[in-house]
Amino acid sequence: MNDTPRGAILQRDKTSYAIVPRTPAGIISPEHLENIIKVVRRYDIPVIKMTSGQRMVLVGIKGEDVEKIWNELGMTVGQATAPCLHYVQACPGTVTCRYGKQDSLGLGIEVEDIYQEMNLPAKLKIGVSGCPRCCGESYLRDVGIVGDAKGWNVIFGGNSGGRPRIGDVVAKNLTKEEAIDLTRRLLEYYQKNARSGERTARFVERVGFDAIRRDVLAFAPYIPLDSTQPK
């Protein structure tokens, strides 16, 4: 029987846990920040760690405190091991960045909201960037979305881990709605055809990017069926 508390990750001391409240696209409200400070003080949580995925991990929690802390935080439970979307990282884009060409922050929040409940073959990370400088690390995420002056470019199969892989461009110059739709089609294809535990990078290597792109684009009416290269 799995007696791990909800949304908790057992630490190497085999007795304490970490939790990762969801902070979509790295944004957190003052209320949630205050709640984090309160629980950290109340439950004597020794470590708050900022992750590369723009999340805040609370480390060193007693098992019996985990559920009480979730209730007091009032934040969505973030995933750290389950096969699903773990996070969407997004750069500031046109909200604040002088180089921004598209609203990466808005799209990142929207994408996380849409796909956070989707069951997938393995964990999944998404990176959204507001211009080709790519501060959202989009080419190294399972799904990358990069804005430029012409719209959004969608990338698939990137990974920054021990076997890194630069993702492949699936389509260019999309509207926001098209980029969201193409992301859905890619995730559904991955969900249907990947092996259990297979990250997108390994899936692309096994099946072949051209085959994946051809199959997915066959049902994307806004991208020409006969196109063999990103438009």
Instruction: Please state the separation of Cα 154 from the chain's center in Å.
Output: 14
Shortest Cβ distance from residue 169 to ligand SF4 (Å)?
16
The reply on whether position 99 binds ligand SF4 by CB under 6 A is yes
The sign one gets for the Cα dihedral 174, 177, 183, 184 is negative
Q: Give the binding range for ligand SF4 (CB under 6 A) out of 42-50, 70-78, 88-96, 221-229.
A: 88-96
Among 38, 49, 133, 214, binds ligand SF4 (CB under 6 A): 133
For residue 87, the surrounding DSSP H or E stretch is strand 85-90
- 71: number of Cβ within 10 Å: 9
Selected binder of ligand SF4 within 130, 144, 157, 158 (CB under 6 A): 130
Residue with smaller CB distance to ligand SF4, 122 or 145? 145
Please classify residue 14 by burial: count the beta carbons closer than 10 Å to its beta carbon, then call 0-12 exposed, 13-18 middle and 19+ buried.
Answer: exposed
Could you count the other beta carbons within 10 Å of the beta carbon of residue 79?
18
Question: Residue from 16, 89, 129, 159 that binds ligand SF4 (CB under 6 A)?
Answer: 129
Of the pair 82, 97, the CB lying nearest ligand SF4 is at 97
> Considering the complex, what minimum distance in angstroms separates the CB of residue 50 from ligand SF4?
17
With binding defined as CB under 6 A, does residue 108 bind ligand SF4? Answer: no
Choices 32-40, 41-49, 96-104, 115-123 (CB under 6 A): range interacting with ligand SF4: 96-104
The DSSP call for residue 107 is H
How long a stretch of residues is the chain? 231
Closest C-alpha to 152, from 166, 135, 168, 131: 131
The closest of 111, 152, 114 to 130, measured between CA atoms, is 152
93 is a site residue for ligand SF4 (CB under 6 A): yes
* Min CB(181)–ligand SF4 separation in Å: 23
Chain residues binding ligand SF4 by CB under 6 A are: 91-93, 97, 99-100, 104, 129-131, 133-135
